[in-house]
Amino acid sequence: MNGTTGMVARVSRSNAVRLFAGMLLLIVVVAIVGPWLSPHDYQQTNFDRLLSPPAFENGHLFGTDDLGRDLFVRTMLGVQVTILVAIVASAVSLLIGVAYGAIAGFLGGRVDAAMMRVVDTLYALPFIFFVILLMVVFERNFLLIFVAIGAINWLDMARIVRGQTLSLKEREFVQAARLTGVSTAGILLRHIAPNLVGVVIVYVTLTIPQAILVESFLSFLGLGVQEPSTSLGALVDAGVNQLEGASYMLLIPAALLAIILLSFNFLGDALRDVFDARCQR
């Protein structure tokens, strides 16, 4: 798209962006490749090795859990699931939020007022309870988690995009396009959307950790990902139960979760600095 080359160049010049993006990439690569290299499987139980601590010789790098399953492979699976949930949820919020916000902001007037009151109403719903209700009524469905989390996050995205669109549409280049006779769709796609990219990218990097937290929270409550599959939240939940005998079961997934969350947060902050500097030039 227009202008993206300049943006990519500027983003990749930032050291902070490179550091945290590199760290996240490393975690994802290890999470995908790791289980292939391990001799163990994520659901294979071994009753000879219940709660055996981390050791290099037997290949249980992170030890085993109370069913004798290899924790390294399970943790890597948890990372995969957690990041997948976060990315899909953010993508859902991105699609709905950007479209909804841009349309409300651009059309303005009564349409805008009506659309934003809908958002306000949805904000008022206690979403965690709403999600729990969904989980209870329907079967505990992996897909439903994505939808539920995405449905929380798009509200923020819609508000931010609407605000940006409102100010963009008063800018002179949009008026110039109107005057020339560019269609509404053309103005939205060619003039408004490209100028939203920066804000949206920054905001998405900041919603990903939010989504991760919500997923972990649901899994911790036992409402999220179900056995034998797992996520970092579910692993932390299991670890809490074994805190006295096998603290590694809690510490390792919790530490990974913290590292991932921090990396996304720092990445979002670093990206915001890059784009803010761009705005001020």
Partner 1 sequence: MSAKPAGLLEIEGLTIRYADQAVVDVLSFEVAAGEAVGLVGESGSGKSQTALAVLGLLPGDADVTGSIRLAGAEVVGATEKALDRLRARQVGIVFQDPMQALNPFVSIGRQLRQVVLRHGIAKGAGARDRVVDMLRRVGLPDPERQYRAYPHELSGGMRQRAMIAQALIAEPQLLIADEPTTALDVTVQAQILALLEEVRQDTALLLITHDLGIVAGHCGRMLVLEKGRLVEAGPTAEVFARPQHAHTRTLLEAAPRLNVRPPAALAAGPEVLGVTSASVSFRVPGAGLLEAVRGLDLSVAAGETVAVVGESGSGKSSLVKAVLGLVPMRAGRVTYAGETLPARAEARARETRRDLQLVFQDPVGSLNPQMRVSDIVGEPLRVHEPDLPREERGARVGAMLEQVGLGDGFLDRYPHQLSGGQAQRVAIARALILGPRVLVCDEAVAALDGTVREQVLALLARIQAETGLATIFISHDLAVVRAISHRVLVMYLGRLVELADNATLFEAPRHPYTQALLAAVPVPDPAAPGGEAVVGGEVPSAISPPAGCAFHPRCPYAVERCHESLPAARQVGATWVACHLAGELSLRGVERER
* Beta-bridge partner residues of 64: 70
b/e sequence 71-96, b meaning 16+ C-beta within 10 Å? bbbbbbbbbbbbbebbebbbebbbeb
Query: From the CB of 28, what's the least distance to partner 1, in Å?
Result: 30
- Interface pick for partner 1 out of 25, 33, 118, 176 (rule CB under 8 A): 176
The minimum distance between CB 93 and partner 1, in angstroms, equals 23
| Residue with Cβ nearer partner 1 (7 or 221) | 7
Could you tell me where the DSSP H helices lie in the chain? 4-13, 15-37, 71-107, 109-124, 127-137, 142-169, 172-180, 184-186, 193-220, 232-241, 248-280
Footprint on residues 190-219 left by partner 1 (CB under 8 A): 190-191, 194-195, 197
Q: What are phi and psi of 70, to 5 degrees?
A: -70, 125
What are the distances in angstroms from CA 17 to CA 14, 157, 249, 254? 5, 22, 31, 24
Binding mask 3-42 for partner 1 (x = CB under 8 A): x--x------------------------------------
C-beta closer to partner 1: residue 2 or 121: 2
**Considering the rule CB under 8 A, would residue 171 count as an interface residue with partner 1?**
yes
Minimum CB separation of residue 208 from partner 1 in Å reads 24
Q: Which residue has the tokens 């009151």?
A: 117
Residue 105 token pair: 């902001």
Extract the tokens encoding 55: 């050791």
- Candidates 49, 140, 178, 272; binder of partner 1 (CB under 8 A) is 178
Q: By CB under 8 A, is residue 179 in contact with partner 1?
A: yes
How many Cβ atoms sit within 10 Å of the Cβ of residue 195? 17
Q: Which is nearer to partner 1, 1 or 33 (CB)?
A: 1
Coil, helix or strand at residue 70: strand
Q: Tell which one of 39, 109, 126, 181 touches partner 1 (CB under 8 A).
A: 181
- For tokens 């699976």, name the residue: 77
Site membership for partner 1, residue 272 (CB under 8 A) = no
C-beta separation of 96 from 154 below 8 A: yes
Listed ranges 55-63, 147-155, 169-177, 266-274: which one lies at the site for partner 1 (CB under 8 A) = 169-177
Query: Segment contacting partner 1 (CB under 8 A): 101-109, 133-141, 180-188, 229-237?
Result: 180-188
222 φ, ψ to 5°? 85, 10
| Residues at the interface with partner 1 (CB under 8 A) | 1-3, 6, 171-173, 175-183, 186, 190-191, 194-195, 197, 281
